[in-house]
């Protein structure tokens, strides 16, 4: 399978178990924001450690569904169907699968998830930005991810997710920036279906 950093970073994020920690007022604000978002669509821009940029569209629907659809000509797809996250490489007809159940990805996908066990607020020089890092210090091999929110009075709980920075155990950094975010808009369950190239040879 060709190397692409976003899915590996997502896989690391998926793998880390929850750990206990007290919640801060800002974490509670993030919790309220996440609980208020049932669906989201956005345009994303992915930048890897070499500076290569890929773009695409993100669709999210709670509980447990997300799709990273890359731009035309990129033969990759990352999609979660409510139970598992799949990374599909259509160029070699290969599919990888990870469970999404009890994992930090539930921060985005489960409105009932308590983020205090896996996340902490990070200092920011910009008072308009709130950054929250999720990782398990007992398992550095899982990597870490930092969710970045803008303080926005028009957003749920006064926040809007701007993207995230993922760092895997080999210090490969992937930055995701979101734009054109639309919250709580209709998103069809069919958005999270995909074609299995092992059987059909098709694209998602």
Where along the chain do its domains lie? 5-186
Average pLDDT over residues 136-151: 78
The predicted-structure confidence for 20-54, as pLDDT tens digits, reads as follows: 334 589 999 998 999 899 999 999 999 988 999 99
Pairs from 130-139 (Cβ < 8 Å, separation ≥ 24) = 130/26, 130/29, 130/30, 130/159, 132/26, 132/27, 132/30, 134/13, 134/16, 134/104, 134/107, 135/16, 135/104, 136/16, 136/17, 136/19, 137/19, 138/19, 139/15, 139/16, 139/17
CATH number assigned to the domain covering 5-186: 2.50.20.10
| Residue 197 clears pLDDT 50, i.e. is over it | yes
pLDDT of amino acid 15: 40
| Residue 132 clears pLDDT 60, i.e. is over it | yes
% of residues, the chain, pLDDT over 70: 78
The predicted-structure confidence for 64-123, as pLDDT tens digits, reads as follows: 999 999 999 999 999 999 988 899 999 999 998 877 754 556 567 877 777 787 789 999
* Residues sharing a CB contact under 8 Å with residue 42, sequence separation 6 or more, in sequence order: 57, 58, 178, 179, 180, 181, 182
**Torsion angles phi and psi, residue 13, rounded to 5:** -65, -40
| Residue 59 clears pLDDT 50, i.e. is over it | yes
SS3 of 98, please?
Answer: strand
Residue 87: HSE in the Cβ half-sphere, 13 Å Cα cutoff: 18
- In the chain the first and final C-alpha atoms are separated, in Å, by 17
Confidence of residue 138 (pLDDT cuts 50, 70, 90): low
Of residues 57 and 138, more confidence is placed in 57
pLDDT of amino acid 93: 94
């Amino acid at each position: 399978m060709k190397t692409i950093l976003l899915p590996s970073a997502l896989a690391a994020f998926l793998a880390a178990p929850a750990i206990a920690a007290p919640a801060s007022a800002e974490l509670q604000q993030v919790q309220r924001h996440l609980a208020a978002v049932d669906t989201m669509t956005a345009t994303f821009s992915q930048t890897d450690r070499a500076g290569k940029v890929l773009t695409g569209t993100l669709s999210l629907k709670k509980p447990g569904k997300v799709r990273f659809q890359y731009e035309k000509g990129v033969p990759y797809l990352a999609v979660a169907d409510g139970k598992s996250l799949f990374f599909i490489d259509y160029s070699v007809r290969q599919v990888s699968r990870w469970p999404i159940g009890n994992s930090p990805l539930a921060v985005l996908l489960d409105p009932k998830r308590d983020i205090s066990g896996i996340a902490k607020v990070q200092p920011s020089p910009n008072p308009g930005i709130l950054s929250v890092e999720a990782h398990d210090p007992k398992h550095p091999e899982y990597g870490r991810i930092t969710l970045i929110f803008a303080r926005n009075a028009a957003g749920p709980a006064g926040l809007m997710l701007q993207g995230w920075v993922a760092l895997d155990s080999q210090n490969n950094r992937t930055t995701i920036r979101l734009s054109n975010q639309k919250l709580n808009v209709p998103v069809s369950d069919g958005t999270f279906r995909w074609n299995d190239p092992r059987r059909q040879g098709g694209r998602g």
